[in-house]
Structure 1
Amino acid sequence: MSGDLLQRLSTFIPSVKPFQLSDIVVPSLPLPSPTVPCSEVPILFREPYILTGYRPVQQKWHCYLLSLFQKHNESINVWTHLLAAPVLLLHWRANLGPLGYTLDVASLPLLVFLVSSLTYLFLSAAAHLFQSHSEHAHYFFFFMDYVGVAVYQYGCCIGHYFYTSQPAWRDSLVGSLFLPGAAFFSCLTCACCCFAKSRFQRPYPVGRKACQLIPTSLAYLLDISPVVHRLFTASWAEERSLLFHALQIASFLLCAVFFSCPIPERFFPGRCDFVGQGHQIFHLFLSLCTLFQQEALFQDYVRRRDTVVEIFGSVTPGPSPLHTNAPTSEVQLFLSHSLGCSRETEKEVAFFYTTVSCDLLKQYNAALQCPVRMTSLRKHGVRVQENILFIFPAPSPCLRGKHGRQGGRYMHACATKGCY
């Protein structure tokens, strides 16, 4: 029987087609062509003082994608922003737990900043990766790069306005025009950069750089104004975020230097073709600026989350204020007799008192016997040296106030000293 089985196998095996790897493996894609000197690419793609490391034009699109792993004069420009994106995401994730981050109205500006940062990083990396394909691709991808810059500018303004700005600054003329002005200058920056890119040809005149830098500088001066105001008015010892705000300003100023001037390659032509270009250093400092900015906004978010609630309203949908019908006179009367506050303080506290929600108060629950503790008036721009106001959403064993029952909810306020 075994002989019959072997005979059958011997007749079957020759009829089976031999296995070949080419039957299941897709033919390999062509690899990117080797880099060439500047004399072999059109003048549009040449950079001042960069003599070698250019990718040939008119290759297949996948060749430029695969050039991500090739050594050329755009490699570091791509990787500096490509790696910055996961760093921001990891930094974001690392802070979610400690911050108690939840997706609500108060956290939306922080989310807008993250999305805008990832947008400019992705579009910048794509521009430097694919711009060598053709003249059309060069203009298209760099125009999209300028769109990413505009989006990032406005995302920074949103974060600075809602988390960093002081009440005195928001009440000023600059503060009242800040958001519409930021939108205008973001669009102006994008339009001027696109115009300068398409209007001027290499070798670029000074007017092209001025067309890019003037609107960008105006946009930055407006964007950074709430940060500068806070740096000069707030206490650096009490607010750790001010250090990171200072670092982001220093990083951006260094960005401006290396973006405006082709250094150090101007002094070493041909020696910075692959590593050490001014634009590469510009990318590096811009990534650091974004990281410092995100850390500063995280700390501002923790410390000033209630400011966002004050501007937007309740963090929860629907009518959930602590006491929307609380008579202002009652709050003022209590403060006048118990704290001796000024009229300005009374007005500020009365407004704040009627807009805080119970859900927000629960997030400030401390290790106390009292149900909920509220932040001090100092965080709302109210100058109270010793007295601190605490608001409780329900009758507290810590306090038996004289306030009445309004709308089915008790109102209690407690003035203490040295309890910050």
Structure 2
Amino acid sequence: MLSLKLPRLLSIHQVPKGYREQGILFGYRPPRSSAADCLLSAFQMTNETLNIWTHFVPAWYFVWTLVGRLRGPGGWEDPQARPLLAYLLTCCIYPLASSCAHTFSTMSTHARHLCYFFDYAALSMYSLGSALAYSAYIFPTEWVNSTFHRCYVPIAVFNTVISTSLSCYSRFLEVERPGLSKASRTLAFAYPYLFDSIPLFYRLYMCAAQRCTDAAILLHYKHTALAFLTCFIFASHLPERLAPGHFDYIGHSHQVFHVCGIVGTHFQLEAILTDMAERQGRLLPPSPLPSALQTLGSMGVCAVVSLAVIGRCSLALRFLTEPLPREKPHGH
């Protein structure tokens, strides 16, 4: 009955290699869809539908949170709030970019690559937003104003550029060397996360050793557990790899990856807000807060360089050709 409702859906053998997902056998949209068809597909049950909505809906929660903070006391004029607002902005951008990428990725082979270039750049910017918030609110007291603290955000800016570059480059390896492509993309996002989390890991270790009672620690544990689970699911293609064809529409790894990532971001936000309030309430040594120019400057530098990387990779797409297979009639 499902195939009768969606006659345009294709099997894995009817789409090019670059469109195929391991363990997902059916539910693919035609590789040369129009923009209108792509938008309409968000309201059909394809293997991308939940990928679209699991990021589109939560994005508006973060937009609502950001707008509420901007309209609250101080807003952008409050130096204490600027790193939080920058972080919240990236929380809005990365799921929206992901949702758009999944929506329009079947317009053409080149459009597919371009969509995901922007998706990766937005995710890399989110790692910088996390670093800005961590630097301001979650650094261990004994590390505040240390050399590492002063170098932390500049290194995060560099990591963001490397992450965008490596993840975009990985798409050129996708057809011929899919294993290396996947490993490169996983490394591109895992490394910035691990670097950003160094002060957090230290706090978690010290808290476990000293049995501290910081209110934010449990939230940080939840976020960290979900972050590692998200990485594992992304790299493993579970559960569809164990039962190909059984999770084509609901429950495949990319959907679970989206849900775990968004829930993890929610816990991360709650932990940052808790640390921010606790640090201010206990009058702990203040972190060196960046000025508005420094905050916007680091975000702006990364945005400009990321756009340059996307532009360079887009030009390289001219030399990337991939013939589309002929669509076979359903039932053959």
TM-score greater than 0.5 by the shorter chain: yes
Aligned match of 2:289: 312
Aligned match of 1:48: 22
| Counterpart Cα distance in 2 of 1:205 and 1:96 | 43
Report how far residue 100 of structure 1 moved. Answer: 5.5
TM-score norm. by structure 2 comes to 0.78
Structure 2 CA distance for partners of 1:314 and 1:159, relative to 1, 3 Å: closer
| Counterpart Cα distance in 1 of 2:177 and 2:238 | 16
For the Cα contact (< 8 Å) 1:50–1:272, is it kept in 2?
A: yes
For the Cα contact (< 8 Å) 1:236–1:242, is it kept in 2?
A: no
| Counterpart Cα distance in 2 of 1:211 and 1:85 | 26
Q: Deviations over 1:368-415 (max 9, x none)?
A: xxxxxxxxxxxxxxxxxxxxxxxxxxxxxxxxxxxxxxxxxxxxxxxx
Matched, 1:65 2:39: yes
Three-state SS of the structure 1 residue aligned to 2:27 is coil
For the Cα contact (< 8 Å) 2:26–2:245, is it kept in 1?
A: yes
Matched, 1:223 2:196: yes
- Given the alignment, which residue of 49, 53, 64 partners 1:75? 49
Structure 2 CA distance for partners of 1:310 and 1:41, relative to 1, 3 Å: closer
Structure 2 CA distance for partners of 1:237 and 1:87, relative to 1, 3 Å: farther
Aligned match of 2:8: 34
Q: Deviations over 1:75-116 (max 9, x none)?
A: 11111111111233455678899x966431110111001100
Aligned match of 1:351: none
- Given the alignment, which residue of 234, 237, 249 partners 1:259? 234
| Counterpart Cα distance in 2 of 1:313 and 1:271 | 50
Aligned match of 2:319: none
| Counterpart Cα distance in 2 of 1:308 and 1:106 | 13
Three-state SS of the structure 1 residue aligned to 2:288 is helix
| Counterpart Cα distance in 1 of 2:290 and 2:34 | 53
For the Cα contact (< 8 Å) 2:86–2:132, is it kept in 1?
A: yes
Aligned match of 1:207: 180
Three-state SS of the structure 2 residue aligned to 1:53 is strand
Structure 2 CA distance for partners of 1:270 and 1:204, relative to 1, 3 Å: farther
Three-state SS of the structure 1 residue aligned to 2:160 is helix
Report how far residue 237 of structure 1 moved. Answer: 5.3
Q: Deviations over 1:130-189 (max 9, x none)?
A: 101101110100000110111100000000110111232234443232111111111111
| Counterpart Cα distance in 2 of 1:128 and 1:195 | 19
CA RMSD in angstroms comes to 2.7
For the Cα contact (< 8 Å) 1:162–1:307, is it kept in 2?
A: no
Residue type at the aligned position of 1:156: S
For the Cα contact (< 8 Å) 1:120–1:145, is it kept in 2?
A: yes
Residue type at the aligned position of 2:154: P
Q: Kindly indicate which of the two structures has a greater share of residues assigned to helix.
A: 2
| Counterpart Cα distance in 2 of 1:43 and 1:184 | 33
TM-score norm. by structure 1 comes to 0.62
Report how far residue 216 of structure 1 moved. Answer: 2.6
Aligned match of 2:91: 117
| Counterpart Cα distance in 2 of 1:50 and 1:313 | 46
Aligned match of 2:263: 288
Q: Deviations over 1:306-350 (max 9, x none)?
A: 6696523999xxxxxxxxxxxxxxxxxxxxxxxxxxxxxxxxxxx
Structure 2 CA distance for partners of 1:243 and 1:41, relative to 1, 3 Å: same
* Structure 1 residues not aligned, in runs of 5+: 1-30, 316-420
Report how far residue 201 of structure 1 moved. Answer: 3.5
Residue type at the aligned position of 1:233: M
Q: How many residues align?
A: 283
Aligned match of 1:243: 218
Three-state SS of the structure 2 residue aligned to 1:185 is helix
Aligned match of 1:146: 120
Structure 2 CA distance for partners of 1:32 and 1:138, relative to 1, 3 Å: farther
Identity level (%): 29
- Given the alignment, which residue of 240, 262, 270 partners 2:245? 270
- Given the alignment, which residue of 114, 122, 136 partners 1:162? 136
- Given the alignment, which residue of 101, 104, 109 partners 1:135? 109
| Counterpart Cα distance in 1 of 2:291 and 2:158 | 29
| Counterpart Cα distance in 2 of 1:274 and 1:240 | 39
- Greater Cα shift, 83-92 or 36-45: 83-92
For the Cα contact (< 8 Å) 1:44–1:202, is it kept in 2?
A: yes
For the Cα contact (< 8 Å) 1:263–1:277, is it kept in 2?
A: yes
Three-state SS of the structure 2 residue aligned to 1:312 is coil
Structure 2 CA distance for partners of 1:135 and 1:169, relative to 1, 3 Å: same
